[in-house]
Amino acid sequence: MAAMNAPEPPIQVQAAARALLAFWRAAGVDMDEAEAVYAATARPAPARRPAAPAATPIAPRPAPKVRAKASSAVDNAGLLAKAAQSVAGLRAAVEGFDGCALKATARNTVFSDGVDDAPVLIIGEAPGKDEDEQGRPFVGRSGQLLDRMLATIGLSRQSNVLISNTIYWRPPGNRDPTPGEILTCLPFVERLIELKQPKLLILAGKAAANTVLKRDEAVTRLRGRRLSYNREGLAAPINTMVMLHPAYLLRRPQEKRLAWADLLAAESWLDELGVARIAQS
Ligand code: URA
């Protein structure tokens, strides 16, 4: 409960509190407005933040060997991806690619949504039913939560974010993609990162993190760290972080604190990188 005679918090704190409140409500958690004001006030002030830790270099591990048939699809994907010289060209290459069996059962190719030259690139896992129907990533419930989460730190697919996935066609019944399907799409994913060379790459959830970083680790070991992703073909290492997947938050709203911490970590990194964000009202 708010104290009756408590002084009115400053305007910026009230705006941050409203954003935080909206985010927690979206995550399915009811919260007293005064608590949100408290939580927003409790954000570390920029001047008092400890010196940011250096980003940890994280080189992807070598890809595992794949069977011959899959390997020719992977090679073909690699050639097409390499030939693409822009995000639009890469989108066309993915749309014309027939080497992933998932395409046969999907309604649409789901490549990306947002601003092609945005400073922030977010990569999720695979399209679901809504995404398959609309041909755009993250448009279902988890996508709507993602949009609300991003809005709390001044990011949106209308202005400064490009969103994509590690798989471009819906796996039937939303099953997990197979290792072969993942490897077949990977050259396009890697080329997207290379073409965009984003200021910040955000990997949403365990599957995206392990696919891009070629690891097999719990998301809890990867999130909360500043990573520096590097591999051959990149002009420079890329600032990278891992966040909890919004679909996971819909299932486990009790993890909202970690999600909020991920957002604040992204916000302060973006500030340091000088990435323009939308002012919050
Ligand atoms: N989950 C994802 O990882 N990607 C989408 O596009 C939708 C839901």
Please determine, for residue 97, whether its predicted confidence score (pLDDT) is greater than 80. yes
Dihedral of alpha carbons 10, 14, 15, 17, sign? positive
Mutate to test the pocket of ligand 1, among 142, 144, 212 (most ligand atoms within 8 A of CB): 142
Phi, psi torsion values for 158, nearest 5 degrees: -80, -20
pLDDT at res. 36: 36
Which of 224, 232, 222, 123 shows the shortest CA–CA distance to 167?
123
CA 205 to centroid of ligand 1, rounded, Å: 10
CA 169 to centroid of ligand 1, rounded, Å: 11
- Ligand 1 atom at minimal distance to the Cα of residue 204: 3
CA 36 to centroid of ligand 1, rounded, Å: 29
Q: Hey, what CATH class is 68-273 in?
A: alpha beta
Regarding the beta carbon of 171 and ligand 1, being less than 6 Å apart is answered no
- Ligand 1 atom at minimal distance to the Cα of residue 124: 3
- pLDDT by residue (tens digit) across 32-85? 433 333 333 334 444 445 566 688 888 777 666 656 556 899 999 999 999 999
Higher pLDDT, 29 or 184: 184
pLDDT at res. 1: 38
Regarding the beta carbon of 169 and ligand 1, being less than 6 Å apart is answered no
Burial class (CB in 10 A: 0-12, 13-18, 19+), 163: buried
- pLDDT by residue (tens digit) across 153-204? 999 999 999 999 999 999 999 999 999 999 999 999 999 999 999 999 999 9
Q: Which residues make Cβ contacts (< 8 Å) with residue 1, sequence separation at least 6?
A: 32, 34
Closest CA to ligand 1's atom 7:
138
Q: Where are the domains of the chain?
A: 68-273
pLDDT at res. 50: 56
Regarding the beta carbon of 138 and ligand 1, being less than 6 Å apart is answered yes
- Ligand 1 atom at minimal distance to the Cα of residue 246: 1
Regarding the beta carbon of 211 and ligand 1, being less than 6 Å apart is answered no
Regarding the beta carbon of 142 and ligand 1, being less than 6 Å apart is answered yes
Phi, psi torsion values for 80, nearest 5 degrees: -65, -40
As a residue count, the chain comes to 281
pLDDT at res. 59: 75
CA 41 to centroid of ligand 1, rounded, Å: 32
- Ligand 1 atom at minimal distance to the Cα of residue 207: 3
- pLDDT by residue (tens digit) across 203-260? 999 999 999 999 999 999 999 999 999 999 899 999 999 999 999 999 999 999 999 9
Contact between 269 and 226 (Cβ < 8 Å) = yes
pLDDT at res. 240: 98
Q: What is the pLDDT averaged over residues 260-265?
A: 96
pLDDT at res. 279: 87
CA 164 to centroid of ligand 1, rounded, Å: 8
Regarding the beta carbon of 137 and ligand 1, being less than 6 Å apart is answered yes
The pTM score is 0.82
pLDDT at res. 197: 97
